[in-house]
Amino acid sequence: MTNNSFHNELAKPMTTQEFIQLSEFIHTQCGIKMPPGKKIMLEARLQKRLKSVGAATFGEYCEYLFNSPHSQEELVQMINAVTTNKTDFFREPGHFHILTDTVLPPFIDPASGNGSCFTVWSAGCSSGEEPYTLAMVLSEFAALHPGFRFSIVATDISTKVLEKAKLGIYDEERIATVPVSIKQKYLMKSKDRGKGQVRITPELRSQICFERVNLMDEQYRRPELLDVVFCRNVIIYFERQNQEKLLGRLCNSLKPGGYLFLGHSETVHGFDLPLQRVTSTVYRKTA
Ligand SMILES: C[S@@+](CC[C@H](N)C(=O)[O-])C[C@H]1O[C@@H](n2cnc3c(N)ncnc32)[C@H](O)[C@@H]1O
């Protein structure tokens, strides 16, 4: 590696060859499509990685990533740098109304014999806002329906966002979308008011199990069948073939009658999947 005299400078632009090598690798590893129009974005997102490993050029970085004893560690860091993790509390709020008004009531109907634990998977959970929103909504439902129990597993490929999610600390601006009564119950203000931060209560944090999972891993199976899968704003970054394969695996992880929630611009249209449409982005497993 070259010395660190370049520290405050940006590396020379990526060559086409380097872009092809990196983009194909990212696509194969995590499904994220990287057409040529993403070259500038990829360069920008990887600048910090070059500095961290002391690489002066993208060529040196590729050597470090593909042909060094540090390849495995760097792969994790590279994926952390290139994933898009935009999320919010109560994002697409209609989904949480569907959960409370349509999905949950049959679950507490004694006639349906459903005394078991309601299970949810937030697949591609980013920094935790989605699974914590689920935990808030399900806790509110449990408060009204004693005996209702739930468990949430939340997974992402990025270790960086998972660390943040486990910590459960957010800037106050991030919680603007959380209804006031819910804020009072499930969020604690930092003792140091100047910090302008809040933390999810320990009880709510303990309701979620966070794990690193690559959704492209065809061998990966949840150990249990689920009642609901949220996989929102994840397949939008995948091309159709990978979308269909992933959606097929998500269907396999649902109980018959279980629900799949996708992001607002995502659809299962054109795919051969055992799903029945509930609304434009909510589906129910048929068999
Ligand atoms: C835009 S965020 C969406 C977060 C949340 N579901 C929401 O809708 O607000 C997409 C997340 O998917 C994750 N992701 C992308 N590719 C993945 C893969 N192959 N396996 C697991 N997670 C992946 C990213 O790291 C990112 O945190």
Question: How do residues 223-252 score in pLDDT, each as one tens digit?
Answer: 999 999 999 999 999 999 999 999 999 999
Contacts of 78 (CB under 8 A, 6+ apart): 26, 46, 49, 65
Model confidence band, residue 261 (pLDDT cutoffs 50, 70, 90): very high
Q: What is the structure's pLDDT at 12?
A: 85
123 CA to centre of ligand 1 in angstroms: 7
**Choice among 49, 156, 227, 232 that is catalytic:** 156
Q: Report pLDDT for 114.
A: 55
109-164 pLDDT, tens digit per residue, is 766 555 689 999 999 999 999 999 999 999 999 999 989 999 999 999 999 999 99
Mutate to test the pocket of ligand 1, among 32, 155, 156 (most ligand atoms within 8 A of CB): 156
Q: Which CATH class is domain 94-168+200-285?
A: alpha beta
Residues whose beta carbon lies within 6 Å of some atom of ligand 1: 30-32, 83-87, 91, 124-126, 130, 156-158, 161, 213-216, 232-234, 237, 263
What was the pLDDT predicted at 3? 47
Half-sphere exposure of 4 (CA within 13 A, CB side): 5
Give nearest CA residue, ligand 1 atom 19.
Answer: 30
State the pLDDT at residue 116.
84
Whether 4 has a pLDDT exceeding 50, the answer reads no
156 is catalytic: yes
Whether the predicted pLDDT of 194 surpasses 90:
no
Q: Would you kindly state where each structural domain of the chain is located, as residue ranges? A: 4-82, 94-168+200-285
What pLDDT was estimated at residue 193? 79
The answer to whether domain 4-82 and domain 94-168+200-285 are alike in fold is: no
> Of all helices (H) and strands (E), which one includes residue 244?
helix 240-252
H helix runs in 54-188, sequence order:
58-67, 71-82, 94-98, 105-108, 129-144, 159-167, 180-186
Q: Tell me, which fold does domain 4-82 have in CATH?
A: Chemotaxis Receptor Methyltransferase Cher; domain 1 (1.10.155)
Question: What pLDDT does residue 6 have?
Answer: 46
Spell out the residues 6+ positions from residue 136 whose beta carbon is closer than 8 angstroms to its own: 178, 182, 185, 186, 204
147: left (phi over 0), alpha (psi -120 to 50) or beta: left
Residue 8: which pLDDT band, with cuts at 50, 70 and 90?
low
Percentage with pLDDT > 90 across the chain: 89
| pLDDT > 60? residue 1 | no
Res 191: pLDDT: 83
For the question of residue 45 being annotated catalytic, the response is yes
Which pLDDT belongs to residue 111? Answer: 64
Q: How far is the CA of 163 from the centre of ligand 1 (A)?
A: 14
Best mutation site among 170, 234, 250 for ligand 1 pocket (most ligand atoms within 8 Å of CB): 234
pLDDT, position 31: 95
Residue 222 has pLDDT above 70, yes or no: yes
For residue 5, pLDDT over 60 is answered with no
